[in-house]
Chains A and B, each alone.
Chain A
């Protein structure tokens, strides 16, 4: 018994073990292992930044230099003044991407969170079945059904429609799964009390559920953001009108077609575009990272 209380006192102010509160010499080996791994993982990311600001002569200098010496904004100016091969200004692709991403995130949050609320708190016949199907769908690999998806999208008449960027991105089983797990943590008594006070479903959703699942919504926003902002395939497969394609698609043409990749100026433009693609991902995650971590605490999947 005494030994136990000793341990408790030791652990409450401990600096070693899981989640320590301060530095302790026992942590040094972990720093020694992690630092090189992290540095290695960081190299390509630094390269994205460094390359975007290199003037032409530094992009082609021999031997190649990793870091930029005389940073310049010329690549970005070129990117926005030059036209794409199809005479569409680059800002148009960027504009399309921003619209697609913002609309997808808002719609996805709304649709998934009302579904998650019903799946967690409402009582109805198919509740268990629907959630089980959604959990199986976590294992779904979209690339496997590219062909039938293409046939359906053609059938529904979404080819060359702006909606084709948005609608498929809204069926995101991971998002509904994480949201539902998070709604589960809200005590039933709170909702029952509101019901007794005569609150409608819409009010319960808006005034109780939504404010309490903010971390899960932030996570959902990030997942949808990554799925839409980084998506080049939709434009390549379903859109033939150049002015409806997205920035990710434009970047993919720079690295694959002869027109962009092989010309000397193309390399600088591609480097600048790559940074513009990556930066929003990083910024959004930085802002929302603590919310994401608290969502992940509820991500468990019962076997």
Chain B
């Protein structure tokens, strides 16, 4: 009897103290669950099944993953190397570029800094659909294309190059275009982080005998803004894998010409929406999510506070 009353009392106290907090979090938590948590769970479950969207998913254990590693020649020969090449150059490359640009901007007075930062940020505001129009015009394959006409004019090439349709040029163009638009939120966070460092830290370091700007970056700037560095790194990793559709947008075809620009995201769409092998596509999705997690772990190690 006494225990029951106690329980009722505790329930009432909980209502007073915590229910409003849950009410505040609820709408977001609901949408978060429906559109982020549940899809990830379903993807994981589907990856262990055969599912062609018509019949109910049939569990087949690890066979999708085994097939991915042992039988999917396109994945091993093109998609995986392409994804790694793309991710390594655009990810860490873009990240280092963003940091260096932010650091140089921080050396300038407020007005020019703001103007230049805005210009560097503006490409990240352009959408894939806008840029497909622009890049297809600039890299157009006939002599009317801007780049072709420029090179022909300088006599650097004798005939127009099919930029977006030739396997050897597609990947470098994809990397360049993605780097161009990668100075986004992470870049702004790092710029703010650099500007927020207490100038006395630099004085102290100068008194301690620090002589060059490189030493200053390595021993003062980066250690004092590790949280921003980590935020920038996570944004850059996510942005890199999210940018996967660029090859298809540029060349206008999935699969891309001779799989030259085929990234893991395109592979998922190829199997999911063109071949309707949803179980297999889900297995590739899980691999992609694990790759993002792995890269983020590495970033976490690099910039953890301990």
Contact = CB atoms under 8 A, between A and B. Distances in A.
Interface of A: 3-4, 7-8, 11, 14-23, 27, 30-31, 33-34, 37-38, 41-42, 44-45, 47-48, 51, 60, 62-64, 66, 111-112, 114-115, 117-119, 122-127, 130, 134, 137-149, 151-152, 156, 167-168, 170-171, 173-174, 176, 201, 205, 223, 226, 229-232, 248-249, 251-252, 254-256, 261, 267, 270-271, 273-274, 277-278, 281-282, 285-286, 289, 292-294, 296-297, 299-303
Contact of B138 (A41, A44, A255): A44
Contacts of B292: 139, 141, 144
B129 A124 contact: no
B218 interface: no
B292 to A, nearest CB: 5
B27 interface: yes
Contact of A44 (B28, B131, B188): B131
B129 A255 contact: yes
Given A38-B120, A115-B27, A122 B20 contact: yes
B132 A252 contact: yes
Nearest to A303: B304
A125 B35 CA distance: 24
Contacts of B241: 141, 143-144
Nearest to A277: B130
B24 interface: yes
Interface stretch (B61-69, B88-96, B166-174, B198-206): B198-206
Contacts of B27: 111, 114-115
B158 interface: no
A286 B131 CA distance: 20
A206 to B, nearest CB: 12
Contacts of B143: 62
B210 interface: no
Contact of B127 (A4, A38, A230): A230
Contacts of B21: 118, 122-124, 127
A19 B199 CA distance: 9
Main secondary structure of the interface of B (DSSP, over half): helix
9 contacts: A38-B116, A64-B144, A126-B22, A147-B268, A148-B42, A152-B35, A168-B35, A300-B231, A302-B227
B185 interface: yes
B207 interface: yes
B36 A137 contact: yes
Query: Looking at chain B, what size class is its interface with the partner chain?
Result: 35 or more
Contact of A42 (B119, B230, B293): B119
Given A33-B104, A64-B149, 15 more contacts: A11-B202, A19-B110, A20-B109, A41-B119, A51-B137, A124-B21, A130-B25, A141-B238, A146-B272, A147-B268, A151-B42, A277-B127, A297-B193, A300-B193, A303-B300
B191 interface: yes
Contact of B24 (A38, A117, A142, A267): A117
A148 B39 contact: yes
Contacts of A60: 144
B125 interface: yes
B261 interface: no
Most buried by B among A3, A16, A267, A301: A301
Given A3-B207, A21-B109, A299-B231, A63 B149 contact: yes
A145 B285 contact: yes
B272 to A, nearest CB: 5
B146 interface: yes
A68 B190 CA distance: 37
Given A4-B207, A167-B35, A278-B130, A143 B108 contact: no
